[in-house]
């Protein structure tokens, strides 16, 4: 598993939520308040995105928007059109594509949207996502497969052929990877450079593949062909934190994923992420997440049950 895939899989706290909207002008929808990354794909037509932090932004067919903070915002046929709150019914959770019919003049210009949220752990953002701005707007373009993914989404959502639900679910999940690729090409961050770095990239892979191993900076530096000091400086400059600090973060991120997804003893979780005692693991986990491991498991279980997952 590559590092990007590993990070996104570890941060996922539940299935992606999404629904289709077919709107006829005049129309306006208010979104926000979710615990994940909100997204919109403009499949057909045009609209305006407005929020408290930025001036209205025109969106066109093929555009993709990711809102990393879950901030409240509106989509409408015009910036001045009143908006109503957008709601997802229960049947649209667990990766189902719903239909939201918006009141408006049937003869008005039509816009078709795919909107939803990626449910990601956000108690302490991973460096991969921490550098994202609150609003990522990717205009229609042919790079990184993003354009092709949007075209396929539009076709599957519109035609609703047998198997469309499975295809759309997979495409929506893949969309987040395409968004991150496209954004990082235009705005290269330390993290994207770290993954591509010939010395630091393989070191990240080693940590991700075997977080329980008793890694030392000396070992990691030697495998990268660098001195301990040089490796530490290079790793810290690219990733944003020292090697063993990142290793601890990744161990606890992995532990949180296990707690959310598997009913195994806390001692087993501790062992799988490199802690020799349950007490030491519990202390480190609470310092990172603000909850003891058992409480975290109960809280995240309750949160997910609200969405029927």
pLDDT given for residue 182 in this prediction: 85
Q: Which residues have a Cβ under 8 Å from the Cβ of 250 and sit 6 or more positions away?
A: 207, 208, 211
CATH superfamily of 193-305: Homeodomain-like (1.10.10.60)
The segment(s) of the chain belonging to CATH 2.60.120.280 are 3-186
pLDDT given for residue 243 in this prediction: 97
Q: How many CB atoms lie within 10 A of CB 107?
A: 8
The segment(s) of the chain belonging to CATH 1.10.10.60 are 193-305
> Class for domain 3-186, per CATH?
mainly beta
CA 239/CA 242 separation, integer angstroms: 8
pLDDT given for residue 35 in this prediction: 61
Q: What is the pLDDT along the chain (309 residues), one digit of tens a residue?
A: 588 888 888 888 777 777 888 888 999 999 876 666 889 999 899 999 998 888 999 999 999 999 987 788 999 999 999 998 886 654 444 334 445 556 566 678 899 988 888 888 777 778 888 778 888 999 876 666 888 888 888 888 777 788 877 888 888 888 888 888 888 887 777 788 898 899 999 999 999 999 999 999 999 999 999 999 999 999 999 999 999 999 999 999 999 999 998 999 999 999 999 999 999 999 999 999 999 999 999 988 644 333 223
Strands, E assignment, the chain: 17-24, 28-31, 37-44, 46-51, 57-60, 64-67, 73-76, 84-85, 97-101, 110-118, 135-138
Helix, strand, coil: what percent of the chain each, to 5? 45, 20, 35
pLDDT given for residue 2 in this prediction: 83
């Amino acid at each position: 598993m590559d590092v990007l895939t590993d990070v996104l899989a570890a941060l996922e706290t539940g299935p992606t939520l999404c629904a289709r909207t077919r709107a006829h002008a005049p129309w306006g929808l208010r979104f926000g308040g979710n615990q994940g990354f909100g997204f919109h794909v403009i499949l057909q037509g045009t609209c305006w995105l407005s929020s408290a932090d930025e001036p209205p932004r025109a969106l066109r067919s093929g555009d993709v928007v990711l809102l990393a903070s879950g901030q409240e915002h509106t989509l409408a046929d015009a910036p001045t059109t009143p908006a109503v709150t957008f709601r997802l019914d229960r049947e649209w959770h667990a990766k189902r594509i719903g239909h939201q019919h918006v009141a408006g003049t049937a003869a008005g210009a039509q816009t078709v949207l795919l909107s939803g949220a990626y449910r990601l752990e956000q108690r302490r953002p991973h460096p991969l996502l921490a550098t994202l701005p609150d609003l990522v707007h990717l205009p229609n373009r042919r790079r990184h497969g993003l354009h092709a993914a949007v075209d396929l989404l539009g076709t599957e959502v519109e035609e609703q052929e047998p198997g469309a639900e499975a295809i759309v679910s997979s495409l929506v999940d893949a969309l987040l990877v395409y968004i991150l690729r496209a954004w990082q090409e235009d705005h290269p961050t330390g993290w994207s450079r770290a993954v591509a770095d010939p010395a630091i990239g393989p070191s990240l892979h080693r940590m991700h593949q075997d977080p329980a191993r008793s890694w030392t900076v000396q070992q990691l530096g030697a495998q990268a062909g660098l001195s301990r000091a040089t490796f530490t400086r290079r790793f810290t400059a690219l990733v944003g934190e020292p090697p063993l600090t990142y290793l601890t973060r990744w161990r606890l991120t992995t532990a949180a994923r296990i707690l959310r997804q598997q009913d195994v003893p806390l001692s087993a979780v501790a062992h799988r992420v490199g802690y020799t005692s349950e007490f030491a693991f519990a202390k480190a986990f609470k310092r990172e997440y603000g909850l003891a491991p058992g409480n975290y498991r109960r809280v995240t279980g309750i949160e997910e049950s609200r969405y029927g997952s």
